[in-house]
Structure 1
Amino acid sequence: MSTRGQFNTKNPTIKRILKEASELSTSPSSDYHAEPLETNLFEWHFTIRGPPEPSPYAGGIYHGRIVLPSTYPLRPPSFRFLTPTGRFEVNREICLSISGHHEETWQPAWGVRTALVAIRSFMDTDAKGQLGGIECSRDARERMAKDSGAWKCAGCAKSNAEIMQEREELVKEIEEKDGKRKDEQVPEELRLAYRDELGKEGEEDKKVDKGKQRAVESSAEAASSASPSEPAPAAPVTVPSRPAPTVPIVRPTRTTTAPPPQQVAQRSPDLAWIDTCIYGVVVALLFMVLKRFV
């Protein structure tokens, strides 16, 4: 392998990756294949067959990428499909018990082979809002499966059908020498983890559905109470009589201008004798005038 001299083979992660790559090459399967890129041991390309009949993916051959973390196998790899399947989104990480989205269920004893067997087994399950999963009709999935063999990866420079044909021929040669091997099975721990995952997702979906149903029911009740179809006759209600409020009657009035207030001049006591003299003079003049005419 051309990448061997580019990495420290004493590193536990590198040793594990090289071991798995060698094992997949010398013990091939006619249902799947995976190998690292020549330039990067941590990026692999895989090719798998769809599950057998009556699966809508039967006859399909799908291609994808695997990215191994630097701490592999202590942490799980991530997977994404490059070929349209109708089950997983194209070129987006998928969420499974064996992927990086569920590190708590991953076991270091598992490897790339175990993951590929699990992915192939889990393809027939429903997406149920799963990250990277999609819902699609059976006809669309069968059509994608039919077209998947001719899909060609630019990096591998081979079609999916060509890759699996090489695996079949290699498996046939090995079986002629050593006999037919036993089919790989998904580990029971992985099956249980996946069931728990589906159970949690199912419970969440039920809670969401119940919440939506309650919201719809409450909306319907509010609408029915707001606009009833046949309004019921209202019962007579006796309202206690209250005295009518007294409203003052406004009548037109004539506007009169009030005379300015008379100012009473207070005189000083020192000037009182002057007033007395003036009065006396006036009386004397009147007396003289009257006497003249009489």
Structure 2
Amino acid sequence: MAGKRVNTTATARLKQDYLRITKDPVPFVKAIPLSSNILEWHYIVNGPENSPYEGGIYHGKLVFPREFPFKPPSIYMVTPNGRFKCNTRLCLSISDFHPDTWNPAWSVSTILTGLLSFMLEKSPTLGSIETSDHTKRQLAAQSGLFNLNNKIFNELFPDVVDKIKEDIRKREEEMRNATSNGSQSGTDTRNSSQTVGGGNLARNGIFGSALANVVVIIGFAAFAYTVKLVLKSIVE
């Protein structure tokens, strides 16, 4: 009976937290429990602007004990992010690694706010990794496509899935347009070169023809003058 009462307490508290987070969302964060198990929540963190995570969509999960809120949850990150190891329990002051620092008054919103805050820091802890900002930005750009391969992500966040697919479609279209414009530009350049070259050839042909005519005329004149001299000498 005691275990059942504890489980009822955890369920009631998590339902209350879900209503709270739905009404007053945490900035950059969205979270929802599994319909089949309210003790397992999945969240997404949208990388804040002016951070190495900007544009990234990071999926993770919270696993609550039956004794919640008297014991803290386990915290995991699923999407590669450059800050935390994936699918590994994270050692944070708000996770089950530190039950001594846990406060039963803390809610799911408090946990997710703390997670985001720690993500933006560089303090090392068990489950954290060190990577360059360049690596974090690369992972942020790849995060959406990575999440599409996760079944639970697709089921719990269909609106985010649609946005990711639309963004991917737009990027592909921009790439196709850029490639098409590049090819057209190359064709126009070649045509322009041919036109200019053809014009030069035409001008060179006209000039060459005129020069040939002048040479012929001069030749005839010289020949006529020579003949005139010969005839004059014969007459004399």
Q: Following the alignment from structure 2 to structure 1, what is the Cα–Cα distance between the partners of residues 143 and 155?
A: 13
* Alignment-mate amino acid for residue 133 of structure 1: S
Shift of 1:48: 1.1
TM score, norm. by length of structure 2 = 0.60
Which residue does 1:23 correspond to in 2?
20
Shift of 1:8: 7.7
Q: Following the alignment from structure 1 to structure 2, what is the Cα–Cα distance between the partners of residues 57 and 154?
A: 23
Question: Where in structure 2 are there 5+ consecutive unaligned residues?
Answer: 164-236
Q: Following the alignment from structure 1 to structure 2, what is the Cα–Cα distance between the partners of residues 140 and 156?
A: 23
More divergent stretch after superposition (22-31 vs 37-46): 22-31
Shift of 1:159: 9.0
Which residue does 1:185 correspond to in 2?
none
Which residue does 1:191 correspond to in 2?
none
TM score, norm. by length of structure 1 = 0.49
- Higher helix proportion (structure 1 or 2): 2
Identity of aligned residues (%): 36
Q: Following the alignment from structure 1 to structure 2, what is the Cα–Cα distance between the partners of residues 46 and 65?
A: 6
Does structure 2 retain, via aligned residues, the 8 Å contact 1:148–1:160?
no
Which residue does 1:266 correspond to in 2?
none
3-state DSSP of counterpart to 2:152 = coil
Q: State how many pairs are aligned.
A: 158
Q: Following the alignment from structure 1 to structure 2, what is the Cα–Cα distance between the partners of residues 9 and 89?
A: 32
Question: Where in structure 1 are there 5+ consecutive unaligned residues?
Answer: 1-6, 167-294
Determine which structure has more spread, i.e. the larger CA radius of gyration: 1
Q: How does 1:210-225 map to 2 (within 5 A)?
A: none
* Alignment-mate amino acid for residue 8 of structure 2: N
Which residue does 1:49 correspond to in 2?
46
1:72-130 residue CA offsets vs partner (Å, 9 max, x unmatched): 011111110110000000100111110110111111111111111111111122243x2
Which residue does 1:84 correspond to in 2?
80
Shift of 1:156: 3.3
Q: Does residue 1:137 correspond to 2:137, yes or no?
A: no
Q: Following the alignment from structure 1 to structure 2, what is the Cα–Cα distance between the partners of residues 98 and 165?
A: 32
Residue 164 and residue 103 in structure 1: after superposition, are their counterparts in 2 closer, same or farther (change >3 A)? farther
3-state DSSP of counterpart to 1:156 = helix
Residue 19 and residue 86 in structure 1: after superposition, are their counterparts in 2 closer, same or farther (change >3 A)? same
Pick aligned residue for 2:120 from 120, 124, 130: 124
Q: How does 1:266-277 map to 2 (within 5 A)?
A: none
Does structure 2 retain, via aligned residues, the 8 Å contact 1:61–1:161?
no
* Alignment-mate amino acid for residue 141 of structure 1: K
Q: Following the alignment from structure 1 to structure 2, what is the Cα–Cα distance between the partners of residues 10 and 102?
A: 21
Does structure 2 retain, via aligned residues, the 8 Å contact 1:79–1:99?
yes
Q: Following the alignment from structure 1 to structure 2, what is the Cα–Cα distance between the partners of residues 165 and 104?
A: 41
1:213-232 residue CA offsets vs partner (Å, 9 max, x unmatched): xxxxxxxxxxxxxxxxxxxx
Shift of 1:50: 2.1
Q: Following the alignment from structure 1 to structure 2, what is the Cα–Cα distance between the partners of residues 74 and 40?
A: 19
Shift of 1:164: 8.5
Does structure 2 retain, via aligned residues, the 8 Å contact 1:30–1:164?
no
Which residue does 1:58 correspond to in 2?
54
Does structure 2 retain, via aligned residues, the 8 Å contact 1:34–1:44?
yes
3-state DSSP of counterpart to 1:115 = helix
Which residue does 1:149 correspond to in 2?
144
Q: Following the alignment from structure 1 to structure 2, what is the Cα–Cα distance between the partners of residues 30 and 112?
A: 13
Q: How does 1:1-294 map to 2 (within 5 A)?
A: 11-29=8-26, 31-53=28-50, 55-128=51-124, 130-150=125-145, 151-152=147-148, 153-157=150-154, 162-163=159-160
Does structure 1 retain, via aligned residues, the 8 Å contact 2:40–2:61?
yes
Alpha-carbon RMSD across the aligned residues, in angstroms, is 2.6
Residue 138 and residue 67 in structure 1: after superposition, are their counterparts in 2 closer, same or farther (change >3 A)? same
